[in-house]
């Protein structure tokens, strides 16, 4: 399926190009999706960490949203870094009005360990944004926060996914296993069944922006009309290839590669 489609990312920036809005737009472009962006916070960051953050005024975030939705069709939304509760409130309103596929990456802490969301906003994100999501894509620490569970193995991941759907109200949950040992195995719970997406672990330090890139790829595929399980499977191939072919730059955790990644260029085990 490859109809023309558009996707909007609502997130923070990364001037070094590996994460945030920049990673999302590169991913949309690579997946032949017309990419649009609303910026929540401007972040001075690179592969070594976050140096500074400027939050945009909430009214201005709302204006950016209006500029897009009043003029253009959007086939799927994604949110990444949303630092404050006020920001979350205006985004929530818009997600309810639009009622379209909504991929929510509950970004809390960067790969570098820097905190990207104010402490008080975490509960609001869990209680007010998670229920609106078509799919929530936490890594292990984010899933532990959302569910209050300790996650050490596949059974724990599955339990957390069920809590996010049945107790917190998301339509589906994808728990990413990048932070566990062994194969890079992710578990999707769609409200009825579990699906796993696994790839051999790649020996790399180029993990800056993996979560952003993965969720942006899911958004692009949902915007094209793929069913959830198929969209996640294709996005898993994309992130695996992006990690494998990473451009080795920067002095810390380098970026993944978004250019020239084609679904058929990588091996992903689906079982």
Ligand X SMILES: Cc1ncc(COP(=O)(O)O)c(N)n1
Ligand Y SMILES: Nc1ncnc2c1ncn2[C@@H]1O[C@H](COP(=O)(O)OP(=O)(O)O)[C@@H](O)[C@H]1O
Residues designated catalytic: 176, 207, 209-212
Task: Tell me how far apart the alpha carbons of residues 53 and 55 are, in angstroms, rounded to a whole number.
Answer: 6
* Residue selected from 35, 80, 101, 233 as contacting ligand X according to rule CB under 6 A: 80
Show the site string, 109-138: x = touches ligand X by CB under 6 A, - = not. Answer: -xx----x----------------------
Task: Tell me how far apart the alpha carbons of residues 12 and 24 are, in angstroms, rounded to a whole number.
Answer: 10
Neighbours of 178 (CB within 10 A): 17
Q: Applying CB under 6 A, does 211 fall inside the site for ligand X?
A: yes
> How does DSSP assign 82-101, residue by residue?
--SHHHHHHHHHHHHHH-S-
In sequence order, the 6+-apart residues with CB closer than 8 A to the CB of 70 are none
Task: Tell me how far apart the alpha carbons of residues 92 and 10 are, in angstroms, rounded to a whole number.
Answer: 11
Instruction: Closer to ligand X by CB, 91 or 190: give it.
Output: 91
CB 45, min distance to ligand Y, A: 14
Instruction: Closer to ligand X by CB, 78 or 190: give it.
Output: 78
* Phi/psi of residue 148, nearest 5 degrees: 75, 5
Instruction: Closer to ligand X by CB, 185 or 253: give it.
Output: 253
* Residue selected from 103, 239, 241, 261 as contacting ligand Y according to rule CB under 6 A: 239
Q: Applying CB under 6 A, does 19 fall inside the site for ligand X?
A: yes
Q: Applying CB under 6 A, does 184 fall inside the site for ligand X?
A: no
Instruction: With H, G, I as helix, E, B as strand and everything else as coil, classify residue 16.
Output: coil
CB 46, min distance to ligand X, A: 10
Could you give the strand order of the β-sheet that contains 34-39, starting from the edge strand earlier in sequence? 34-39, 6-11, 76-79, 102-104, 135-136, 173-175, 184-189, 194-199, 269-270
Angle at 176 between CA 178 and CA 6, to 5 degrees: 115
Show the site string, 141-180: x = touches ligand Y by CB under 6 A, - = not. Answer: -----------------------------------xxxx-
Q: Applying CB under 6 A, does 176 fall inside the site for ligand X?
A: no
Q: Applying CB under 6 A, does 43 fall inside the site for ligand X?
A: yes
Structure tokens, 86:
């006020």
Structure tokens, 105:
């990456």
H/E segment holding residue 8: strand 6-11
Angle at 245 between CA 238 and CA 263, to 5 degrees: 30
Q: Of the ranges 7-15, 161-169, 199-207, 263-271, which one interacts with ligand Y (CB under 6 A)?
A: 199-207
Show the site string, 242-271: x = touches ligand Y by CB under 6 A, - = not. Answer: -x----------------------------
Instruction: Closer to ligand X by CB, 108 or 173: give it.
Output: 108
Q: Which residues bind ligand Y (CB under 6 A)?
A: 139, 176-179, 184, 186, 199, 201-202, 204, 207, 210-211, 214, 236, 239-240, 243
Q: Which residues bind ligand X (CB under 6 A)?
A: 11-14, 19-20, 43, 45, 80-81, 107, 110-111, 116, 208-212
């Amino acid at each position: 399926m490859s109809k023309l489609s558009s996707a909007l990312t609502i997130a923070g920036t990364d001037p070094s190009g590996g994460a945030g809005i920049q990673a999302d737009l590169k991913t949309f472009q690579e997946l032949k999706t017309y990419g649009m962006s609303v910026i929540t916070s401007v972040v001075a960051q690179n592969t070594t960490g976050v140096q500074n953050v400027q939050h945009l005024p909430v009214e201005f975030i709302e204006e950016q949203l209006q500029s897009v939705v009043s003029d253009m069709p959007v086939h799927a939304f994604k949110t990444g870094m949303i630092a404050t509760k006020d920001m979350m409130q205006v985004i929530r309103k818009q997600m309810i009005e639009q009622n379209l596929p909504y991929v929510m990456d509950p970004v809390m802490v960067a790969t570098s360990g820097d905190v990207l969301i104010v402490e008080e906003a975490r509960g609001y994100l869990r209680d007010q944004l998670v229920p609106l999501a078509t799919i929530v894509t936490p890594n292990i620490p984010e899933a532990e926060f959302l569910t209050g569970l300790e996650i050490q193995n596949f059974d724990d991941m599955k339990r957390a996914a069920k809590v996010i759907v049945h107790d917190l109200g998301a339509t589906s949950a994808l728990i990413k296993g990048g932070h566990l040992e062994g194969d890079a195995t992710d578990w999707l719970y769609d409200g009825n069944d579990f699906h796993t997406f696994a790839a051999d672990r790649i020996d790399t330090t180029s993990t800056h922006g993996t979560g952003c890139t993965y969720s942006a790829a899911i958004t692009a595929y949902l915007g094209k009309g793929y069913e959830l399980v198929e969209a996640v499977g294709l996005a898993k191939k994309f992130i695996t290839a992006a990690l494998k072919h990473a451009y080795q730059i920067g002095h810390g955790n380098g970026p993944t590669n978004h250019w020239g990644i084609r679904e058929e260029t990588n091996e992903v085990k689906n079982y």
